[in-house]
Structure 1
């Protein structure tokens, strides 16, 4: 078998990945709701199997689960739309504060030697009217959201119906390619655990942030709480995205003291929920390094927009399962993507050995106790 130069293989692989990324990006209007539906279907699968085991007919259990999941998703989407509409209507009432901030920014930029044209362009972005236009454009129309929800509902019904054959199809494919089926099975388990845990912790995080912001008098506290919930699915950078709006409006209504309190509250809640609780509960379900996780957020956000950022971890795990976990020859590269169980065991052993070496060194340098008299 002819072996091609490694550089040629890498370049061809990068070219193929670029073409695939451009193709996915051009179809984001279809793929984003479809992949969201796939993740929701994977998460709801245990409940759909649990109800028939308790005597509920499958013909009733499946439509019930589909309608409940879709109802919660649609209610959340339209709750964000309503809260955002109220926020946009309230925004012009802070025109004076925005003007004062714009003047302060202009003076500071002028003292730093920035040209007048650049200063005017930057200050214009602080105008509430421009913020309204930007947010409304990023949100899109209600018709576009409704169309995406229709796709989600349709795909959810079809996926739930097709899932009845999934076990039989997987059984047949296991005889042909057992590694692929094992990788996909592990993927569904890991994604389900990650999404369920992140959802529950995101609800707790959003609720605590909403209560704290409402107590501090920050406007649109419910909207920022829902934003915090959404951003809990975006690793590394989601915290900062969720922090900026309440921090800014906290400064508007209460000055630096309120802004500092908002910063402290968000930092404490984020540190406890996402840095302490979530890693312990999720465990090894997300075997991705921090660098790969951040890159995946940026990559999928560019390819598929906000949904891509929210689904960055599930999508990256899916690509890893198909391209790496399902191929025995490619599994040797798993430690480059994230720590495996073997990697964690080796690291733990090295840490224990370093502790033992430091203890032995301290013992060797300590003076010997004086001899006992008598």
Structure 2
């Protein structure tokens, strides 16, 4: 039976079923797949360092050790800052119980002035727990620490991939003539992923620095923690800015009242619009190669499959999937155009 004799609906259903099987299978082994993909992306990010050292004819062990140590240093620094800051946040939250109760009383008086039922409002407000006001922030930060706590596995994978990187590059170059489609697709994936990570990191650091300065001037506690969180959420497409804004704005509400919260929101919005809304797209260009809809869909899918790490790696994972399934197949150019949103 030829391919054309199979109804297209059957092909779509079978493809969808296979995709679901793969995604649910990956979800079952997310604790392994997540660190594996993270290690691969980090090795790709620092591969220009290895290429530069190779161009300088440095020994192979130097080509392996320098990129590896750079990545390990960055990961360890991130783990240390997040761990210490989350510990400080956990000790700080109970001290705001009084401020929280005061805000509830103000809300009750405000609602009573405008004719809202005091009894219904009291029941609604009593359902809030002061310890849960920043629960979302603690859960997010704890998830990030949990992801990075698989440090041993990540470091081992990084070391293995760093050792194999020079050999892998030679092998791929040797088969380029036999499999030009897949090798070109993988090269494109690596290049786009590297550019996306580098540009996002540079502008993420700039935005995070501005956020820390703004929070420090406004007197919001733990500005360094919220700056690191803003940097991390830079890699989460579409909703990253909101996730990075909620915790410091809630803490500002408890610490200084509604006025301080509004100032924090305004500062974050100005910084985000200037850098991530106007400047970042100009330098990032078409590095992502995904439409807005596909970016949001990839965020949902990979978060479901891999959890918080899937949200951070949504773009690289989607680029890898696109390279393997679409870019490597000349007959799938129409699908690539739909996914990228470009004719």
TM over 0.5, yes or no?
A: yes
C-alpha displacement at 1:322, in angstroms? Answer: 0.8
Shift of 1:172: 3.5
How many residue pairs match? The answer is 338
The Cα offsets for residues 181-211 of structure 1, whole Å up to 9 and x where unpaired, read as: 1111111011000101101111111111011
Aligned equivalents of 1:70, 1:158: Cα separation in 2: 13
What is the CA–CA distance in structure 1 between the aligned matches of 2:119 and 2:291, rounded to whole Å? 40
Matching residue of 2:327? 325
Alignment partner, residue 240 of structure 1: 242
Q: Partner of 2:138 in structure 1?
A: 135
Instruction: Look up the match of 1:294.
Output: 296
Change over 3 Å in CA distance of 1:337–1:79 after alignment to 2 = same
Task: For residue 253 of structure 1, report the CA deviation from its aligned partner.
Answer: 2.4
TM-score by length of 1: 0.83
Q: Could you tell me whether the CA contact under 8 Å between 1:125 and 1:131 is conserved in 2?
A: no
Q: How big is the alpha-carbon RMSD for the aligned residues of Structure 1 and Structure 2? A: 2.7
Instruction: Give the conservation status (yes or no) of the 8 Å contact 2:289–2:340.
Output: yes
Task: Point out where structure 1 has 5 or more consecutive residues left out of the alignment.
Answer: 344-374
Change (3 A) 1:14 1:222: same
Question: Equivalents in 2 of 1:271, 1:173: separation in Å?
Answer: 45
* Match in the other structure for 1:254: 256
Give the conservation status (yes or no) of the 8 Å contact 1:66–1:156. Answer: yes
1:90-239, aligned counterparts within 5 Å?
A: 90-102=92-104, 111=116, 119=124, 123-128=126-131, 131=134, 135=138, 139=142, 145-146=148-149, 148-239=150-241
Q: Which has the higher contact order (CA 8 A, sep 6+)?
A: 2
CA contact (8 A) 1:194 1:286 kept: yes
**Residues 48 and 61 in structure 1, CA contact (< 8 A), matched pair in contact too:** yes
Question: How far apart are residue 68 of structure 1 and its match?
Answer: 2.0
CA distance in 2, matches of 1:253, 1:325: 51
Asked whether the equivalents of residues 144 and 308 of structure 2 are also in contact (C-alpha less than 8 Å), the reply is no
Indicate which of 23, 27, 33 corresponds to 2:35: 33
CA shift for structure 1 position 339: 3.1
The answer on whether the counterparts of 1:218 and 1:246 sit within 8 Å (CA) in structure 2 is yes
TM-score where L is the length of structure 2: 0.90
- Could you tell me how far apart the structure 2 residues matched to 1:208 and 1:141 are? 22
Structure with the greater alpha carbon radius of gyration: 1
- Paired residue for 1:57, among 56, 59, 62? 59
Give distance in 2, aligned partners of 1:64 and 1:192: 18
Following superposition, the deviation at residue 104 of structure 1 comes to 5.9
Cα distance between partner residues in 2 of 1:118 and 1:30 = 45
Relative distance call for 1:144 and 1:32 in structure 2 (3 A) is closer
